[in-house]
Amino acid sequence: MTVLRATPPPPLPVRDSAAARDRAGGGVSPMLTRLAAEEATGVLVRECGTVHLVDGMVVHAESPLAPGVDVLLTARGTLDPAVWQEAEGRAGDPPGALRLLADAGRLALSALELCHLGALYDAAYFALAPSSVPGRFRYGTAPPFAALRAVPVAAVERETLRRRGLLHGVWPDTAPDEAPLTRVDRPLPPPLTLRQRAVLKRVDGVRTAPDIARELGRRAYPTLLDVRRLVAAGVVAPRPRAPDPVPIPPTEVNDPDITLLKRLRDALEAL
């Protein structure tokens, strides 16, 4: 595997794993930990995604920042999109669709389980990100189709913290994870892996890391790692935010007609 020569990362303050565990009572979401203890069934809604529980176990997670199982299965021809749509229509949700596909022998059970777990952990990473917006839980009944795999809350939180630590070790700034990405011209660009070249090819000043993952049909987290390594190597950077427009101060109008109209208005209001 090719190792990129990293430029020194900025000394930015980032929440470390130990501090996160201390504040969250051993995990990243006190509410999620409590729901696991209650063996609750329903959906935890957070700013960047949702986590679905059945009897206190995580069976599914979704985030707009992570490709779902539908993208991972259909983007590169592993499964016909029409087959997925039919299965999801019958089941009503992605975990149930995976169960139907497994029962029908459309794909190997092990492949479907890996796809399910990969999408679950990816979406949970974003859904459980630190946020100033409080989460809320909607209690509900268990779905009609059992998920291929239910994951303990502790395992999801542990994996989320591990991923944060790995990303922090590559590049501590989280801006490249969601901002539009631009290329940085270098006279002697470092050698890149095939995966990194595929990511770099799609950096155009508009696409974000989740956009690139979705277009490539790849999981979000490995794509984030590739992006941060490219940033550390100095060939990619998050696009700078446009400065807020400077307010234009009101100008004094000296038109005599307007001045007269203002005086008439003031006189009428005084009557």
Q: Look at residue 245 and tell me whether its pLDDT is greater than 70.
A: no
Q: Look at residue 221 and tell me whether its pLDDT is greater than 60.
A: yes
Q: Look at residue 207 and tell me whether its pLDDT is greater than 60.
A: yes
Structure tokens at 43: 């959906």
The model's pTM is: 0.79
Tokens 């989740």, located at residue: 210
Q: What pLDDT band is residue 252 in, cutting at 50, 70 and 90? A: low
What is the model's pLDDT at position 56? Answer: 97
Instruction: Give whole-number Cα distances, 248 to 3, 60, 251, in Å.
Output: 50, 50, 9
Structure tokens at 207: 């696409």
What is the model's pLDDT at position 17? Answer: 41
Number of C-alpha atoms within 13 angstroms, CB side, residue 179?
16
Q: pLDDT tens, 114-139? A: 999 999 999 999 999 998 889 999 99
Q: What pLDDT band is residue 12 in, cutting at 50, 70 and 90? A: very low
Structure tokens at 241: 């935010």
Structure tokens at 190: 């470092």
Residue count of the chain: 271
User: Identity (one letter) of the amino acid at 95?
Assistant: P
Number of C-alpha atoms within 13 angstroms, CB side, residue 134?
3
CB 230 within 8 A of CB 236: yes
**Average pLDDT score over residue span 235-261:** 72
Instruction: Give whole-number Cα distances, 83 to 37, 52, 92, 101, 216, in Å.
Output: 37, 24, 14, 9, 20
Q: Look at residue 178 and tell me whether its pLDDT is greater than 70.
A: yes
The whole-angstrom separation of Cα 95 and Cα 134 is 26
What is the model's pLDDT at position 240? Answer: 82
Q: Look at residue 23 and tell me whether its pLDDT is greater than 50.
A: no
Q: pLDDT tens, 39-50? A: 999 999 999 999
Q: Which residues, 6+ apart, have CB-to-CB distance to 145 below 8 Å?
A: 91, 92, 93, 95, 96, 99, 100
What is the model's pLDDT at position 25? Answer: 39
Query: Of 15-29, 50-64, 169-183, which gets the smallest average pLDDT?
Result: 15-29
User: Identity (one letter) of the amino acid at 115?
Assistant: C
**Average pLDDT score over residue span 240-244:** 70
What is the model's pLDDT at position 263? Answer: 73
